[in-house]
Structure 1
């Protein structure tokens, strides 16, 4: 695991086999293209280690696991390797004592759930052919590049400010 790095391994497509430990599932707050809700992180016990699997997204009003897919027995999981997100989200820290999670912090979740031999990453599972919750395959891989729009906006605002300053200065001199 020391050789796993963000530069070389983030978003690498991986496959792992094992058994889910559904009793240790953690819900992490999320906002996706489907709206607000939770990521469902379930430990998968593989051969010699445990890895957290982000099985997908559930809306806030469907957080009860009774209606979710719960694969039993040996399963194969394919998805994208993601590095831990320690500490929390923007302006929110994970509240482990209250079981409120805002980021996918592998070490903190493993500690809270009593997991050992945990991989220092998690896997975002691919979409399933089954249309039941949780909905996998929602990982954002390509982010919008709006830098030109931002630059034009700020240069336009700067030009408008300069124009307003010149106008006010000319009016003062009259």
Structure 2
């Protein structure tokens, strides 16, 4: 091929590469913007999990701290002198008489077995009542007649932790409480008061006492079912989100700075 032919091929190859450059630049801009947006979202999720981790660690430390405090009589805890935010998981003691005819059954599990947590009104010396989560009974022991020995009669002492009532359903997937069949799923005082034999004039303290470890006579209910060790997986979640952001960043760099090999040939 003559000199004129070689010059023509070289010129054509350069022209084709010049035509492709704007398209490649536009592609790189689009890929870059999409990638940067994805990285920003992933980093935001990672930062949010770090914030949740700090909050959860503080909450767990607060719970453990409260459990080390001396038990407070339920009358003092309900007096209003202790802020509502300080009630949860606070060690509390009470003395009174159980009204077993008004016990409520919450669907629950304990050590891998399905059953019920039994909530029973405890009448205090001043005439007020407080619901006590006495603990777990197997699924087939919901009927009090199947655990008659555990239906304590007379004045008894209770030591446990205070837990607040819920003001709204914990989630959309949580079923509604059914007072008619005595099946409950979440702590809602108005639902617990439906159909009480105690009457509408009964005054209830606005929190629950979760009884501490120990079994009632006859073996049931079994106390100490309160879950204190709150799941804390936020560190793993944060690592996952930041890791995905790093992977996406690597892919973005490879996509933007990768240059396709030219198929054009030029001969000097």
Fold shared by both chains (TM-score > 0.5): yes
Moved more, 66-75 or 87-96: 87-96
**Partner in structure 2 of residue 80 of structure 1:** 161
Which residue of structure 2 lines up, in the alignment, with residue 113 of structure 1?
196
Give the drift of 1:101. 1.1
User: What is the distance in 2 between the residues matched to 1:46 and 1:126?
Assistant: 18
SS of aligned partner of 2:151: coil
Aligned to 1:27: 105
Please name the residue that 2:120 is paired with: 42
SS at match of 1:104: coil
Does the 8 Å contact 1:13/1:78 carry over to 2?
A: yes
What is the alpha-carbon root mean square deviation over aligned residues? 2.7
The count of aligned residue pairs is 174
Structure 1 pair 34–134 and aligned structure 2 pair: CA distance change class (3 A): farther
Do 2:166 and 2:187's aligned partners in 1 also have CA atoms closer than 8 Å?
A: yes
The structure that has the greater radius of gyration is 2
Decide whether aligned partners of structure 1 residues 162 and 133 sit closer, same or farther in structure 2, where only a CA change above 3 A counts.
farther
Q: Deviations over 1:10-39 (max 9, x none)?
A: 111111111111111100122344433221
Is 6-15 or 125-134 further displaced after alignment? Answer: 125-134
For 1:59 and 1:161, how far apart are their aligned partners in 2? 50
CA–CA distance in 2 between the matches of 1:170 and 1:29? 59
Please report how far the alpha carbon of residue 74 of structure 1 lies from its aligned counterpart in structure 2 after TM superposition. Answer: 1.0
What are the ranges of 5 or more consecutive residues in structure 1 without an aligned counterpart? none
**CA offsets 1:38-59 (integer angstroms, 9 cap, x no match):** 2100111111201100000123
Preserved CA contact (<8 Å) 2:215 2:221: no
Q: Per residue, is there more strand in 1 or in 2?
A: 1
Tell me which protein shows more helix as a share of its residues.
2
State the secondary structure of the residue aligned to 1:119.
coil
CA deviation string 1:46-77 (max 9, x = no partner): 11201100000123233232343111111111
TM-score (norm 1): 0.82
* 1:78-131 per-position Cα deviation (integer Å, ceiling 9, x unaligned): 111111124444322223344331112223202332541111111001112557
Partner of 2:219: 132
What's the TM-score once normalised by structure 2's chain length?
0.56
Tell me if structure 1 keeps the 8 A contact 2:215–2:223: no
> Does residue 146 of structure 1 match 2:229?
no
Give distance in 1, aligned partners of 2:103 and 2:131. 9
* Residues 107 and 120 in structure 1, CA contact (< 8 A), matched pair in contact too: no
- Matches of 2:196 and 2:138 in 1, distance apart? 23
In 2, are the aligned partners of 1:87 and 1:94 still within 8 Å (CA)? Answer: no
| Cα distance change of structure 1 residues 22 and 129 upon mapping to structure 2, 3 Å threshold | closer
Structure 2 CA distance for partners of 1:159 and 1:35, relative to 1, 3 Å: farther
SS at match of 2:140: helix
